[in-house]
Amino acid sequence: MPLRLTLKPNERAILGGAVLTNGKHRAELFVETEVPVLRGSDILSPSMVRTPCERIVLAIQLMYVDPQRRAAHAQTYRALVDDVLDASPSSRRLIEPIEDCIQAGQFYQALKHGKQLIHFEKELLSNVR
């Protein structure tokens, strides 16, 4: 069954390894093969990344959309996770489900868990004076 992807006007998406930008009108696409798909609201661009946990999620995103370089992105991911766990051992409970998804090759699900990690980090940082 194809994936139905509806793009708002001027919305961006990643389909396979390609970045798409919609025109002035709403568009509906049907993706008939299994490829990585990210809607604009889920895309983390490198210029937007500011925090360690955002860097982790960016590495996961790259593992998802760039399978040819997955091993290199996985090394980056591993180093970032190690740094975050050293600085914040309490984040382990949020990183473990991400790890499970990555081990299973479920990168989209790992990205969903990554949003929770970013939210946790924002809460931690909001308590810093």
pLDDT higher than threshold 90 for residue 1: no
Query: Which one, of 14, 4, 93, 87, lies nearest residue 51 by Cα?
Result: 87
pLDDT higher than threshold 90 for residue 126: no
72 and 13 belong to one structural domain: no
| Domain of 92, in residue numbers | 46-126
Q: How many residues does the chain have?
A: 129
31 and 50 belong to one structural domain: no
69 and 23 belong to one structural domain: no
pLDDT at residue 79, as a whole number: 98
85 and 106 belong to one structural domain: yes
* CA distances (Å), origin 102, targets 85, 106, 114: 17, 6, 11
Mean pLDDT across the stretch 44-55? 92
pLDDT at residue 61, as a whole number: 96
30 and 50 belong to one structural domain: no
pLDDT higher than threshold 90 for residue 89: yes
pTM of the model: 0.90
* CA distances (Å), origin 24, targets 4, 8, 27: 19, 8, 9
pLDDT higher than threshold 80 for residue 39: yes
21 and 50 belong to one structural domain: no
